[in-house]
Structures are given as structure tokens and as C-alpha cells.
Structure 1
């Protein structure tokens, strides 16, 4: 089993460093949804903008005044997309003002994304549980962590089925775990505070073992 896991990780690393599944692009016009997918590895958002930076994209049938602004951007686009999609294999996000706010009223906008598929392991720890992430070879490198609920796993749903509880913990876990051979984690409100009351949460971590 260990040999099979190491072989799979080695293959992912080979494909990633040789450009396979890397530098993917995705785009959705305002009112549509963008769909990101990684057949191998996990999503890592590189660039994101909800707005408009040219006059051609999503311009069909639009009045000239609605596509004339080429300096329309949402500064929080990257953090919003990262919170929703990093560490997932498939992610769908609506290109709507309700998600990103409206950076330029009256302008027809679109969501423009660049992302990679990174080789990594994923650990899910249900609320009020503990687990250990470790590396047989190398040391831990955290890629993404979220304490909340993005509806990826069948952790108990005793409270609600809400799927938009985002509380990124990447920086916190990097300072706690990066460079170590093993790291014990606890998924609880006492550690991360409660990002969404009355929601059954879990700690979701994607990481790799760095030489």
C-alpha cells in the first residue's frame, strides 16, 4: 500500500514539474459559472479577477458603453477563489456580484482564472476530532487549509447542510506544521474559533512532503 502511494505521488510530481495539468485557464461571463477541475492533484488558484480588462471578452450583444471600461477589477478575487477552490479536485463558482461584489456598476463583467493542479495529499478531520499528518520522507509543506464546510466529505451533518463556510487557515497551519516530520491537528472551535455557527464543520488540509 505504501509503495502504491509513493508511486502515485511520484507520478504526480513528474507530471506537475513537466507542465502537465499546470497553468490551466478558465473564464465565465457575468451570470454564468466557472468550473475548475484537476484529474490529477488538487486545485491551486494562481490569478483571479472579476471585472473587465479588455473590450472583447463576453462583449457579444452588449452596448459599447458596457464593455468600454478596461480597468475594472475586484481586489479580493484571488482570496475569494482561493477560499472556495484551493485544495479541491472540482470547483464551481458563480461569476456574480453576490460573490465578488460589483467593482464597476454599469460594466458587463467576467471572471478570469488561472490555476494549477498541484500534487498533494489531503486530510479531512471532522469537528471535535484530532488527527496527525506526517511524512515518511521529507518534511511537511502545507498548501491549503480550511476550517468550515465546503461539502467535500460525509462528516456528520447534525446541524445544517450549508456548504459555504470558508475560514482559510493556511497561514496558521504553515507556521504550525511546515518543516516538521509530523504535526498533530485538532478540528475545533477552541482552536480556530467558530466561522459559522450552527454548521457542522471540519478541518481540511492539503499538503505534500518536501525534501
Structure 2
């Protein structure tokens, strides 16, 4: 009987491992990790045919001597320990929750982590099935879940797109005030949540620009 129980335990363990593997493999296949690389001076383009961008990792610098090396002097490629710690934050602020985004690989965006080294921007991201809410400045909206509760993925008050809440006088689409933590604290775990896009609620990140509150979320 002891041997029989041991055999059944082993079979149960193997079955569980197979189920876990199948589930992980399915998730990996249905939501693959995507890559974008841009040499210094160029732009990294991220896009999702479905869902919204979620940046996993990013670095503006150099950790490989071969990437973006064509036509460059050896001394500008020799430092392969060049990392900009704020790269991930910069990319999530500019790209998370969008269908597509383009970010220049330049020192003016990321700051120079290693002077004299020819750098590149390398980004890993996924496309995630999320809901989106856009509230134009001075207006209110409601996000809600018919099933489950709200879980905020990303929020920004400002302007990252000229097409959303259009205004013919608006020329600037580089206006960022990340509000993920603020909106999460108000909305996470609730069936619905009222959103107000106003300078009286959020600090004004770009005076004179017609802004909007952009939120991506899921129902859990």
C-alpha cells in the first residue's frame, strides 16, 4: 500500500507539473515578449496590434559590443557596462497603456550615462489585454467592471497623443504627469470609480496645453 501511495503521489506531481507547464507555455505563446532596439540618434518604435503596451525592461547605454557597432570607432564601443537606471521609468511613462509609441534614443531624453560611448536603446515589452479610459480636461468619466473589480495598470495626466481629446491649438504631445499610484489608490478593488481630469486634482504638467487623463485598467 505504501508503494502504491508513493506511485500515486508521483503521478499526481507529474500531472500538476504538466498542467503548470501547459499553462505557462500557453501564456508565453499568447503574449510573447517583444523587442525594440534603436541606435543613438534614432527612435525606438513600440506597437501592439491588440491590447496595450506594457514595458518590461529598458536600457539606454551599452552592454554589448556588437549591437549598433557599424561604422563606429573601437573606443566608442569598448564600454559594455553602460546602464541608465532611469530608462525603464522613462519608457513606462511614455509608452505604457498606449497602442504605439516612438521614443528617441538621445541624451536629451535619457541623460548621458557614459560620455564618449556610442549608445543604443533596448526595450522589452508585451501587449496586454486591458481596458482604456480617456477623460478630457475639465470633464468626468467613470470606469467600471461588470465582473470583478478595477485594477489600474497605468495612468497619465497630460498629453501623449495629438489625436486624443483633439484641440487645433495643441502642438505639444510630450506632456507627462504619471498618476498610476494616485489612481490606483482611489480605484483599485472597486466595482466602479469616478475620474476627474482637472488641474485642481492633479498638478499641471504643461501650462497652456489642453490635457486629458488617460487610464488603462483590467477587471480582476
Q: Do the two structures share a fold, i.e. TM-score over 0.5?
A: yes
| Alpha-carbon separation, structure 1, partners of 2:42 and 2:36 | 12
CA contact (8 A) 2:162 2:171 kept: no
Q: CA deviation at 1:152?
A: 5.2
Structure showing greater Rg:
2
| Among 203, 207, 212, the residue aligned to 1:193 | 203
Q: CA deviation at 1:21?
A: 3.9
| In the alignment, structure 1 residue 141 sits paired with structure 2 residue 128 | no
Q: CA deviation at 1:126?
A: 0.2
What is aligned with 1:62?
72
| Alpha-carbon separation, structure 2, partners of 1:52 and 1:18 | 27
What is aligned with 1:181?
191
Task: Trace 1:11-22 onto structure 2 (pairs within 5 A).
Answer: 17-22=27-32
Structure 1, unaligned stretches of length 5 or more?
1-15
| In the alignment, structure 1 residue 73 sits paired with structure 2 residue 73 | no
Structure 1 residue ranges (4+ consecutive) displaced by more than 3 angstroms after TM superposition: none
What is aligned with 2:11?
none
List per-residue Cα deviations over 1:150-178 (Å, max 9, x = no partner). 11544142653210001110011111111
Q: CA deviation at 1:63?
A: 1.1
> TM-score if structure 2 supplies the norm length?
0.85
| Among 103, 118, 126, the residue aligned to 1:108 | 118
Tell me how many residue pairs correspond in the alignment.
196
Structure 2, unaligned stretches of length 5 or more?
1-25
| Alpha-carbon separation, structure 2, partners of 1:112 and 1:151 | 23
CA contact (8 A) 1:159 1:198 kept: no
Task: Trace 1:1-211 onto structure 2 (pairs within 5 A).
Answer: 17-151=27-161, 153-157=163-167, 159-210=169-220
List per-residue Cα deviations over 1:106-139 (Å, max 9, x = no partner). 1000000000111001010000000110000000
List per-residue Cα deviations over 1:132-151 (Å, max 9, x = no partner). 10000000010000000011
> TM-score if structure 1 supplies the norm length?
0.89
CA contact (8 A) 2:162 2:170 kept: no
What is aligned with 1:5?
none
Secondary structure of 2:93's aligned partner: helix
What is aligned with 1:9?
none
